[in-house]
Amino acid sequence: MYGSVNSLAMTGLEARPVCVEADISDGLPVFDMVGYLAKEVNEARERVRTALRNSGIHMPPKRITVNIAPGDIRKNGTSFDLAVAVSLMTALEMIDPQIIKDCMICGELSLDGKVMPVPGILPMVIEACRLGYKRYIVPFENVEEGSIIEGIDVIGVKSIGETLLYLTGSMEIKPVKNDLNLMLISGKRDVCGDFADINGQEEVKRAMEIAAAGMHNILVIGPPGAGKTMAAKRLPGILPALSTAECMELTKIYSVSGLLSKDQGLVTKRPFVNPHHTVTPQALSGGGTIPKPGDCSLAHKGVLFLDELPEFSKSALEILRQPLEDREVRISRAHGNYIYPADFLLCAAMNNQWFAICSAQCSCGF
């Protein structure tokens, strides 16, 4: 018995199509998963088997093999759980293969059969639409994020049982549609306050207006309590409104990072990212075993604010050179290369006593 389901694997900000295949044959009872899988993907066999049992679907005591093809793409994350479950139900002839032919499926499963949200839904739906698929079954909490794409029906499901009823025609689930233009209009641009709240400080305001007009980097120097941080937090409010393409690009970054709330389908505000001075170079630029966007990419099309600039480590500051020059971050790993956009306005602040120390050191030739 054989069944297959279409899904997508995330590589950086890009989604690549994969096929989740399941085969159930005679032999010793075993559940194997293959296909160049990360540990969390391999663990899906226990989540899927338990979730199916708790949903009233019992797997036969046979040899079960699941392959996520192609085998040369590294598969990470937990978004394949629901696709594996549906492929097994297709192999058991509970679902007609023709029904899921034009459909893509993703979602994480809890042990009681509920479908949990996963990151990266927006780039997945965009790629599925580009490939010509008509439907995309996603976790219910990810519907708002995926429904802003036209040309494909995004179906939100809450459990395995609900997914089975929908695919067998016993339950109707209407696709969710959101008006992209309405979301852009209703989005509020004021992130951290109104720039008009700054009283006095005419030179600082003039400098920030020039910086915002040309996306120039700016360093603010002054005594403690002078209002450096307050002014910097209001800098995104005078930046131009995000275009539709910029909103989509920024939303993809936050979607892959898992920072979108279930009620937030589109990022319409200029981001303001304020890392602590103890931030590591990897957290600032992005990285990890499975590279994720760092603060530089989260500040894309917005403001990256470094308060108390001299307190940051030398390695953290030096890693900003490439993003400031190339407007992107390149991360190389053994299993692939990742490119994240990082076109931000750098705003830094420091106290004037630090400036005096630096000036004295420079005049002494150090």
The Cβ-side half-sphere exposure at 174, using a 13 Å CA radius, reads: 3
Which residues have C-beta within 8 Å of that of residue 175, sequence separation ≥ 6? 135, 147, 153, 154, 155
String of DSSP letters for 36-65: SB-HHHHTHHHHHHHHHHHTT-PPPSSEEE
* Cα separations in angstroms, 236 against 54, 73, 190, 274: 49, 39, 7, 12
User: Which pLDDT value is given to residue 190?
Assistant: 43
DSSP 175: P
Q: What's CA 18's distance to the chain center, in Å?
A: 19
Q: Residues 255, 267: contact at Cβ < 8 Å?
A: no
Which residues have C-beta within 8 Å of that of residue 277, sequence separation ≥ 6? 306, 307, 308, 311, 312
> Where do the DSSP E strands lie in the chain?
2-11, 14-25, 30-34, 63-69, 103-105, 108-109, 115-116, 135-139, 153-157, 218-222, 272-273, 286-287, 292-293, 303-306, 328-333, 336-341, 345-351
Residue with tokens 């390695």: 315
CA dist 18 and 97 (Å) reads: 16
Domains of the chain, first to last: 2-167 (3.30.230.10), 183-363 (3.40.50.300)
Q: Is pLDDT of 262 > 90?
A: no
Distance between start and end Cα atoms, the chain: 74
Rg, the chain, Cα only: 25
Q: Is beta strand 14-25 parallel, antiparallel or unpaired with respect to 2-11?
A: antiparallel
Give the H or E element holding residue 228. Answer: helix 228-233
pLDDT tens, residue by residue, 229-251: 989 999 998 998 888 899 999 99
pLDDT tens, residue by residue, 101-157: 999 999 999 999 999 999 999 999 999 999 999 999 999 999 988 888 888 999 999
Of the pLDDT bands very low, low, confident and very high (cuts 50, 70, 90), residue 353 is: low
Longest CA–CA separation in the chain, Å: 82
pLDDT tens, residue by residue, 202-230: 888 999 999 999 999 999 998 888 888 98
Q: Is beta strand 286-287 parallel, antiparallel or unpaired with respect to 303-306?
A: unpaired
CA dist 147 and 140 (Å) reads: 11
pLDDT tens, residue by residue, 58-115: 889 999 999 999 988 889 999 999 999 999 999 999 999 999 999 999 999 999 999 9
Of 209, 201, 149, 208, give the one whose Cα is nearest residue 178: 149
Average of per-residue pLDDT values in the chain: 89
Confidence (pTM): 0.87
What does the CA dihedral 33, 125, 167, 81 come to, rounded to 10 degrees? 20
User: Which pLDDT value is given to residue 72?
Assistant: 87
CA dist 59 and 62 (Å) reads: 8
